[in-house]
Structure 1
Amino acid sequence: MSLPRLLTLIAAFCLTLGLIIGLVSSLTGLYTQVALSASPLLANLLILAVIVLLGTLIFALFYYLRLLQSPQKVKGKRVLKPKIPVVKTEAASENLKAIRQQVDRIQDEVARQALLLRAREIEASMARGSIRIVVFGTGSAGKTSAVNSLVGRMAGQVGAPMGTTEVGETYTLKLKGIERELAITDTPGILEVGIAGTYREELARQLAAQADLILFVLDGDLRKSEYEPLRTLAEIGKRSIVVFNKVDLYPDSDRDAILTRLRERVKGFVSAMDVVAISANPQKVVLEDGTIFQPDPDIMPLIRRVAAILRAEGEDLIADNILLQSQRLGEQARKLIDLQRRRQADKVVERFQWIGAGVIAVTPLPVVDLLATAAVNAQMVVEIAKIYGCELTIDRAKELAFSLAKTLASLGIVEGVIQVVSRALQLSVAGFLLGKAIQAVSAAYLTRIAGKSFIEYFRHDQDWGDGGIAEVVQRQFQLNRKDEFVKAFVKDAIARVVEPLNIYQQAPEPELEMSAEIESEPLYQQQDDDWETHSNQRNDDW
């Protein structure tokens, strides 16, 4: 025994002895006082009660110390079923509540029902008693053979070509020392060609994304096409074991070299201990006497690693997976809502861009810089804000519109738009209409840039981002000046703005038309026809 430990024991012994002597002295004094003041019988009863109380306290102390040191040795205690960590399940529950509130705002009935169904599946997984293990990899890597060996019975067509497993087949397994049952799912192979192969790979990826633990099966060195999905699974928070199968086909030196390369390739997102070598379905061996010998599967390295991970991290893996699934579902709901809002906001922008173009076509502005102010409509800002759940006053909308209009002018985007529109219109519009057409189409173009910029502003909770309003406006201008878009936009503008403007310029004076026809037709009929024609014309144009 070391000297410090010996000195500690001597000090503890002396302290305990002093406490005992003090206790005995106190009890003796107490007994004497009670015996002299009352009666010896009462003093004896009091001393007995004190001794029993002290004995009970000492017994309880030793009992609970023993319980804390070796809880597994306490008999008569019922072993409780392991529970998923409370904090993570509560977070997942909150996520699911938020998702249900978001789903009510989704207009697409099919998407809404799909989200609700997935939310119910996640809630069911929170109460399930099994750990979900997914076997993932190419069709030729021997996934099904690995599942067969783990489960201990034939679970698929061993030795079949790629593409045999059409859907995810799930089997159960119990491991010693693991309270929960294991649900092992054999997925379709990845990296297969054709439409059917793409569908099977998508199904396999969906099953892998829902797993608590993934067994990524390989039959050799890791290829780049296999590295990408393995890395992606790690990035979304999935715990994986890399399983090097069919090692019986390699000499020992080659097998060790491949294992070393595998551990090096996955270093950083898969532990070296989580790369194991197995032989799930060894090849038959022909002995010297001609007898065919079938070796037993060598699956124990995988079983030992799975058992070690599940004993140490099983409950956390379940909790992490549930939380991850709820977060991914919430992100999916937010994307659907954002897409729905963008479509609604785009319709608002498109409506106001042609309204602005019509106004400028009828009353062209004498100064080019005024186009920016005229193009940014405050009412458009109010309607876009309402789509994103923001209530803006018209005064606040005017402030935002004026600020963005100044940005358009200061960045030279007005001149840039006019140049783009002029080049596109020169070959399509007659000379006497070119000036009006350029201003009208430019106003529509600027309105579109402004509207798209405000969509980004409200999408990010009324924040222009680190680059400010100028960066957002510049980005929208660059996105909307691509040749394909400009051609389509100008073609639409000619049909909506330039052609009606041409008709307006060529139309005769209303007074002359009425005087020429007043003698040939009754006045009331001419008024009816003129009203109907005018109404239809406006509907067609706008």
Structure 2
Amino acid sequence: MRPTAGETPVPATPERCQQLLDQWSRQLQLSGREQNQLAGQRQALDRQLERLRQRCLRVAVFGRVGVGKSSLLNALLGEVAFATDVAHGCTRHQAARAWDQPIEGLQRVELVDTPGIDEIAAAARARLAARVALGADLVLLVLDGDLTSVEHDALAPLLASGKPLLLVLNRCDCWSAAEQAELIASIQRRLPAAALHLELIPVAAAPRLPQLLADGRVRSIPQPPRVAPLRQALVQLLEQHGPLLLALNALGAADRFHQALQRWRLGASRQAAQSLIGRFAALKATGVAANPLVLLDLAGGLACDTALVLQLCQLYGLPMHGAGARQLLRRLSGHNALLGGAQLGIQLLLGALRQLLLVAAPLTGGLSLAPAAPVALAQAALAVHTTRLTGRLAAAELLRSAQRGGRPGALLRRLARTDPQVRLWLGDRPEPPANLQALLP
């Protein structure tokens, strides 16, 4: 809907993403140690943000050795820009060339060739797939036959990257129309559930026509490439969604950097959090042991725990006001019996017992004061335990909030909720489990 006269036009999603990322990047405040520790991730983020500003999109091919990835790119380029050879493994490193194909909304499109995935170990293969996916805005998985176990396994990290994926069936000149239809059906049956929506695009990057010579020998004659269906699909996808793909990739890179930064900060604050929780535990234990009134014990304990949560928030760089700290404490108490009903019941029981012993002191000639001291110590021990548990649970909740937080990640999730196409690309991937044990105080 066009804005009426006098209204400010609402920027499109890619422009809004770029504005948010530029503002977020300017507001990043890194210490010297953080800059050293995260230099590689920051450089990768800066490169992605620069590609978003310059509207430079990267399309990477991926697949086994010898499926014709380099030949396919050469066919799209219309020239021999990538080395091809009959020997397997001709491509050893990633290489990129500019595609001379005008795309509305983009200034430049780069085609990226990658090494084959079946000549390296499985763990390295997964790392290569993740690295290729992270550095590209669109991935072409090239097949030359039925889906193999190597290709099936490589699909998982590609799909998990949240990038759009096109399946390309090369060497379709080797099969009849019936054989090709049967092969495509077999591939589709073997695809994982998350990839069932993908459509296979048949091409022949370097077709050859057999020719019978006069002496009875057979030779093959090179034929023009047949990649029009792939070219059409690429142009249509990039003209419709190219800037959005760049924006999503930049948001993903910013979210990954945000989480890496938070993990480093939280890990660096672990020792300080341990000391902070210990001081509050000692303070709460002293107050409980010295105070004879149960209600004051409970009120003082709540105030102490609230102050602890606020101090933890400040230590972790996650601002929170007093009401938010008390709400977090109530939520933790609701999920943990010891912090909720059990703690209250034990404190009330011990407090009532101590008061009864103090009241009975004049009647027993002071003999009832002897058990009052152990009761006070039991209350203090309980206060120490519950304070440490409160601090640890609060820290865990703050860690989860920090790893879920961040404006880039929040915008990614909002786009996935509101845009069906983005949701299809990103999928319903669960957040990676946070390794909280290594970060908890």
TM-score range, shorter chain: 0.5 to 0.7
> Residues 209 and 139 from structure 1, CA distance in 2 versus in 1: closer, same or farther, beyond 3 angstroms?
same
Q: Distance in 1 between matches of 2:211 and 2:127?
A: 38
Amino acid at match of 2:44: R
2:229 is paired with a residue whose SS is: helix
Distance in 2 between residues matched to 1:274 and 1:198, nearest whole Å: 27
Counterpart of 2:97? 171
1:333 aligns with 2:254: no
Matched with 2:111 is 184
Query: Could you list the per-position Cα deviations for residues 41-72 of structure 1 after superposition, in whole angstroms to 9, with x for gaps in the alignment?
Result: xxxxxxxxxxxxxxxxxxxxxxxxxxxxxxxx
| Aligned equivalent of 1:446, options 343, 367, 386 | 386
Structure possessing the higher relative contact order (Cα contacts under 8 Å, 6 or more residues apart) = 2
Count of residue pairs the alignment pairs up: 360
Aligned to 1:156: 83
Per-residue CA deviations over 1:152-193 (Å, capped at 9, x if unaligned) read: 32622423334x433211134435999976522111223543
8 Å Cα contact 2:91-2:114 kept in structure 1: yes
Against the structure 1 CA distance between its residues 330 and 354, is the aligned structure 2 distance closer, same or farther, given a 3 Å change threshold? same
Judge conservation of contact 2:56–2:109 (CA < 8 Å) in 1.
yes
Q: Which has the higher helix share?
A: 1
Aligned pairs for 1:13-28 (under 5 A) are: none
2:417 corresponds to: none
Is contact 1:248–1:279 with CA below 8 Å preserved after alignment?
A: no
**1:40 aligns to what?**
none
Secondary structure class of the residue paired with 2:221: coil
Please give the residue correspondences for 1:106-505 in structure 2 after superposition, counting only pairs within 5 Å. Answer: 108-110=34-36, 112-126=38-52, 128=54, 131-151=57-77, 152-153=79-80, 155-162=82-89, 164-174=90-100, 182-194=109-121, 198-199=123-124, 202-223=127-148, 225-227=150-152, 229-230=154-155, 233-234=158-159, 236-247=161-172, 253-263=178-188, 274-278=200-204, 280=206, 289-296=215-222, 299-300=225-226, 303-343=227-267, 346-355=270-279, 377-386=305-314, 387-390=316-319, 392=321, 408-410=338-340, 412=342, 445-458=385-398
Are 1:104 and 2:44 counterparts?
A: no
Change (3 A) 1:213 1:333: closer
TM-score (norm 1): 0.52
Instruction: Give the deviation of 1:207 after TM superposition.
Output: 3.3
Contact kept in structure 1, 2:285 and 2:384, CA below 8 Å: no
Contact 1:141-1:219 within 8 A present in 2 as well = yes
Task: Work out the CA distance in 1 between the residues paired with 2:228 and 2:61.
Answer: 16
Please give the alpha-carbon distance, in whole angstroms, between the structure 1 residues aligned to 2:260 and 2:48.
19
Q: Which of these two proteins has the greater Rg computed from alpha carbons? A: 1
Q: Distance in 2 between matches of 1:335 and 1:213?
A: 23
Give 1:533's aligned residue: none
Structure 2 CA distance for aligned equivalents of residues 390 and 236 of structure 1: 31
Cα deviation for residue 231 of structure 1 reads 5.8
SS of equivalent to 2:249:
helix
**Measured at CA, do residues 311 and 401 of structure 1 come closer, stay the same or move farther in structure 2, by a change above 3 Å?**
closer
CA drift of 1:317 comes to 3.1
Question: CA contact under 8 A between 2:133 and 2:161: conserved in structure 1?
Answer: no
Going from structure 1 to structure 2, the CA distance change for 1:159 and 1:307 (only over 3 Å counts) comes to: same
- Segments of 5+ residues of structure 2 without an aligned counterpart are 1-9, 347-374, 403-434
Identity %: 18
Q: Give CA deviations for 1:215-235 in whole Å, capped at 9, x if unaligned.
A: 211122223542454465456
User: TM-score scaled to structure 2, two decimals?
Assistant: 0.62
Structure 2 match to 1:466: none
Q: Secondary structure at the match of 1:334?
A: helix
